[in-house]
Amino acid sequence: MHPTADEAAVLAAADAFYTAFEALDMTAMAACWARRDDDVCIHPGWEILTGWREISASWRSIFANTGFMRFEASDLRVEVIGDVARVTCVERIFSVADTHTTHGAVAATSLFLRTDDGWKMTLHHGSPIAATHQVTEIDTGGMDN
Amino acid sequence: MHPTADEAAVLAAADAFYTAFEALDMTAMAACWARRDDDVCIHPGWEILTGWREISASWRSIFANTGFMRFEASDLRVEVIGDVARVTCVERIFSVADTHTTHGAVAATSLFLRTDDGWKMTLHHGSPIAATHQVTEIDTGGMDN
């Protein structure tokens, strides 16, 4: 299915967010956000941060403590409802902070607002996905049923 | 600050969701949701569930495996943008499943849609808040500065 023009623009805004995050670039990150008092950010495992002042401080702290960050986003889904757009995806993360390397998967919800300056993020919520156990079907050799 | 009529209606819809969850009542839970293919639910630590069929199965499974569930929602914030409403809150949870008792805090984002049948949930995302360490200021007896 081809995305609509709105959906394509929202996906480009989501892509700009991940590019800014990988670049650890505060100016590019700030440009992605609506920068309102009502913005919300919930980093994986963190409390709820509200308002651009708190949120921007968190990004500065994360960028200062991260040496390397790469994302692979999968299962991207976008829905546009009026002037609000919702994006969900799974972020597969590889990061290096000091000597500590992290691999992991995060389920992410983002909300964007339609503004005169394009689609801007107003909410980002990431939550760690617990490692799941692979359940293997036992070959019973056709013994049951 | 007094909520607007829209905000009050959204907060009532959020309250109905928590009441249904505490009651472990599938009929009441179903009545809270938009029940669309585009609905999204991310339980704490879970993968992303999409569509009412998958989401309702998850609630049935949770209800079947939970004996007792109580919430205390705090830091409730609501924002209505056109026909979409966003609620964020901290859920303090006390639950009993089999012989296992859980206390914990979850950061939650919910989205509601304005429908002919009132505000209906279309996204719920919960993420565990990691226990934080209380940082106590050390009384230096005025020795520094």
Residues B54, B48: Cα–Cα separation, whole Å? 10
Residue owning tokens 């009529």: B5
Please return the burial class of B102, using the count of CB atoms within 10 Å of its CB with bins 0-12, 13-18 and 19+. Answer: exposed
- What pLDDT score does B132 carry? 55
- pLDDT digit string, tens, across residues B37-67: 999 999 999 999 999 999 999 999 999 999 8
How far is CA B62 from its chain centroid?
14
Of B44, B75, B113, the CB nearest to A127: B44
* A44/B127 Cβ within 8 A: yes
- State the pLDDT at residue A135: 41
pTM above 0.90, yes or no: no
Q: Calculate mean pLDDT across residues B60-77.
A: 92
User: How crowded is residue A99: how many other Cβ atoms within 10 Å of its Cβ?
Assistant: 6
Q: What is the mean pLDDT of residues A70-85?
A: 95
AA identity, residue B130: A
Question: What local confidence, expressed as pLDDT, does residue B7 receive?
Answer: 97
Token pair listed for B118: 């009132």
Which of B37, B43, B80, B84 has the highest number of chain A CBs within 10 A, making it the mutation to test binding with A?
B84
CA dist., res. A63 & res. A111, Å (int): 22
ipTM of the complex: 0.84
Q: Rounded to an integer, what distance in angstroms lies between the CA atom of residue B39 and that of residue B33?
A: 8
The reported pLDDT for the residue numbered B102 is 81
* The pLDDT value given to residue A132: 55
User: Residue B1: what pLDDT?
Assistant: 64
**A65 or B111, which is more confident:** B111
Contact A86, A110 (CB under 8 A): yes
State how beta strands B68-81 and A84-97 pair. unpaired
> How far apart, in whole angstroms, are the C-alpha atoms of residue B108 and residue A1?
31
Residue A71 has pLDDT above 70, yes or no: yes
Give the span between the Cα atoms of B26 and B69, in whole angstroms: 14
Confidence of residue B140 (pLDDT cuts 50, 70, 90): very low
Question: Amino acid identity, residue A139?
Answer: D
pLDDT tens sequence across A113-145: 999 999 999 999 999 998 654 444 444 444 443
First to last CA, chain A: 41
Instruction: Inspect the interface and report whether the beta carbons of A42 and B132 lie closer than 8 Å.
Output: no
Least confident of A9-23, A123-137, B15-29: A123-137
Q: How many residues would you count in chain B? A: 145
